[in-house]
Amino acid sequence: MLAAVTLICGAAGGAATAAVFGALGVVVPDSPRSGIGTVLALLLLILSVISPHRLPQLNRETGQRLLEQGQIRWAAINGFLLGTGLSSRIGYWLFYAVLVGCFVLASPSVAAGIGAEYGIVRLGIAGSLGVWMHLHPDRMGQMSRALLLQRQTTRRLSQRVSALIAAALALAIGL
């Protein structure tokens, strides 16, 4: 039940954030929007390849005081906040390409669908790991070590995928 609430609220948070970027795109006329999108996509491409720094982000966890509000309310608020992608740590440059794409699409409804998918994927992966660890408590340490060992490989792979997507986005917008 809690996992379902978290997932649904994560999808809602992602949809809300992306819809805002889609609505911002509606306000900007086509030509400047395409130019802005191209520049942002190129910046993402360059930064994702050469930047040794972590992403601009709010480097925080969801507040522990939420736990005092009950499990369902905690699951709903936590899911929504994580689904937005902006209220906590952002692990990969690719998230920014999602927002740029939503801005360029200039369609709040389509952007909301994209954002909902982001929220579902972000929370679905974490939820799947949580269920696995609950079912295999004797192997939690082993799983944690394996995930930590793959951290740098995952970052490098994500960096390359982000660069490819940013390049494709820049080409698609610029054409």
Where is average pLDDT lowest: 12-16, 109-113, 117-121, 143-147?
A: 143-147
Model confidence pLDDT, tens digit, residues 47-95: 777 776 666 666 666 677 777 888 889 889 888 988 888 777 666 667 8
User: How far apart, in whole angstroms, are the C-alpha atoms of residue 43 and residue 28?
Assistant: 19
Cα 81–chain centre separation: 11
Model confidence pLDDT, tens digit, residues 15-51: 999 999 999 999 999 889 988 988 888 887 787 777 7
Can you read off the two tokens belonging to residue 147?
A: 């995930």
Q: What is the DSSP string of 2-70?
A: HHHHHHHHHHHHHHHHHHHHHHHHHHS-HHHHHHHHHHHHHHHHHHHHH--SPPS----PPPGGGGGG-
pLDDT for res 54: 64
Angle between helix axes 108-135 and 71-84 (nearest 10 degrees) is 130
Surface-to-core class of residue 86, CB atoms within 10 Å of its CB (0-12 exposed, 13-18 middle, 19+ buried):
middle
Give the start-to-end residue ranges of the domains of the chain. Answer: 2-174
